[in-house]
Amino acid sequence: MPLAERIRPNSLDELLGQEHLVGKGSILRTAIEKGKIPSMIFWGSPGTGKTTIANIIAHTLQVPFFQLSAISAGVKDVREIIEKAKDQPGSVLFIDEIHRFNKGQQDALLGAVEKGIITLIGATTENPSFEVNSALLSRCQVYVLKPLEEKDLVKLLQTAIEKDESLKKKKIELKETAALINISGGDGRKLLNLLEIVTDAGGDTISITDKFVMEVAQRRIALYDKSGEQHYDIISAFIKSIRGSDPNAAIYWLARMIEGGEDVKFIARRLVILASEDIGNANPTALVMANASFDAVNKIGYPEANIILSQCVAYLAASPKSNAAVVAIGEALSAVKKYGDLPVPLHIRNAPTKLMKKMGYGENYEYSHSYNNNFSPQEYLPKEIAGTKFYEPGKNAREEELRKFLKNLWKDKYNY
């Protein structure tokens, strides 16, 4: 049994992190302590405690507890558990990676959840708004789990060394933790797996230093990767290769994800995000291409989806780049936080009633299409931030055209 399983907490008091969910007086903790929980979905990155909290709920409530993995389970498995649950009131069904269930599999759960035959606990690394049927989602509370903080990860290492029966037989000095924490990337399970590899390599007396951890990790990294633990490292390399306009590297990392069994929708969704985040108006067709690819791979699935993804990745990597949209919305959000709810200028307010018109709503508004070039140089921002430029066109052919167009309209107002 892996170290992460051997020391898995059995109570909320033993759990590290997620204070916002299970701390004293929290809604979820109170529900668990009262023995009556709603159907819920835990959303968070790997190793943040989704499965652990589900197991704690089962242990605390002492109710019939069924568990499925959406990777291997089908509608038949779901229906069999529902039939068993009918004779066992209060049954809880935990489904790991629920985002991998298709519509039919999720629909099979809906009736049982509605009737209270089962209490559903789902775990997902993906945004449930995209991956869970709206009908099922509306019947579940969604709880977001945060990546573990450094203090929690250090405590997790110390707990493992002090409490695990196998590790207690060794003389282990935890001298440095930076390498363990950096490689694990906030993933508690990955951290414990790495600790176990390091202690196995060190014999009965071990001084854990950053240098020793790196040496062991480099020797064992190929074996370590086969379990899919580098999920986030590889998606990072994939995105950065496209951003860096290297189609060769991008397609290599794509192949690594495909070979590792990555969810096709996970890959395609990130291409849609990247098309706006890193390309934007430098090539507006990129978003069209990425969105079309997302639709296509959902219809086709593996293995043919490989070709569609490869085509899209090559196109995005070879496209001009701009992050102007990211910068613009970031600057605008900062202004909103800094200045608060600034009033809308009266002349661009809607005036559907006589009272509003009397108060000056819509007065002196200049209808753009009534002017030359369909443009009037009136003010659209609140007076406190009038003239503030949020959007700066990128330095590429398409956005230079936008820059010239805007400068021609606004002259020196926004300094384009």
DSSP structure string for 4-65: HHHT--SSGGG--S-HHHHSTT-HHHHHHHHT----EEEE--TTSSHHHHHHHHHHHHT--E
pLDDT value for 393: 94
pLDDT grade for 211, boundaries at 50, 70 and 90: confident
CATH of domain 150-225: 1.10.8
Whether 118 contacts 127, CB under 8 Å: no
pLDDT grade for 221, boundaries at 50, 70 and 90: very low
Helices (H), 261-360: 264-274, 285-300, 305-317, 324-339, 354-358
User: Cβ of 116: how many Cβ atoms within 10 Å?
Assistant: 12
Place of tokens 């589900």: 54
Whether 124 contacts 98, CB under 8 Å: yes
Closest CA to 266 of 275, 254, 277: 254
**CATH class of this structure's domain 18-144:** alpha beta
Whether 102 contacts 70, CB under 8 Å: no
The residues that bridge with 95 in the sheet, in sequence order, are 68, 122
pLDDT value for 380: 93
Mean pLDDT to the nearest integer, 66-92: 87
Q: How far apart are the first and last CA of the chain?
A: 62
Whether the pLDDT of residue 225 is over 50: the answer is: no
pLDDT value for 276: 96
Q: How do residues 20-47 score in pLDDT, each as one tens digit? A: 888 888 888 888 888 888 899 999 888 8
- CA distances (Å), 299 to each of 285, 302, 304, in order? 21, 10, 10
Q: For the purposes of burial, counting CB atoms within 10 Å of the CB of 370, is it exposed (0-12), middle (13-18) or buried (19 or more)?
A: exposed
pLDDT grade for 223, boundaries at 50, 70 and 90: very low
More confident residue, 125 or 391: 391
Whether 296 contacts 305, CB under 8 Å: yes
Q: How do residues 267-290 score in pLDDT, each as one tens digit? A: 999 999 999 999 999 999 999 999
pTM recorded for the entire structure: 0.55
pLDDT value for 230: 64
What is the percent of the chain with per-residue pLDDT over 90, rounded to a whole number? 41
More confident residue, 173 or 103: 173
**270 token code pair:** 């990130």
* DSSP tally for the chain: helices H, then strands E: 21, 7
Q: What are phi and psi of 215, to 5 degrees?
A: -65, -45
Mean pLDDT to the nearest integer, 304-314: 94
**36 token code pair:** 């009556």
**What's the rounded Cα separation, in Å, for the pair 217 and 92?**
39
pLDDT value for 396: 93
- CATH fold, domain 242-317, is Zinc Finger, Delta Prime; domain 3 (1.20.272)
Distance of CA 77 to the CA centre of its chain: 28
CA quadruple 251, 256, 259, 265: dihedral sign: negative
Pairing of strands 205-208, 141-144: unpaired
Q: How do residues 335-347 score in pLDDT, each as one tens digit? A: 999 999 899 999 9
Q: For the purposes of burial, counting CB atoms within 10 Å of the CB of 178, is it exposed (0-12), middle (13-18) or buried (19 or more)?
A: exposed
pLDDT grade for 187, boundaries at 50, 70 and 90: confident
pLDDT value for 287: 97
Closest CA to 397 of 320, 316, 342: 320
Q: How do residues 338-378 score in pLDDT, each as one tens digit? A: 999 899 999 999 888 888 888 889 899 999 999 998 999 99
Whether the pLDDT of residue 222 is over 70: the answer is: no
pLDDT grade for 254, boundaries at 50, 70 and 90: very high
Whether the pLDDT of residue 227 is over 70: the answer is: no
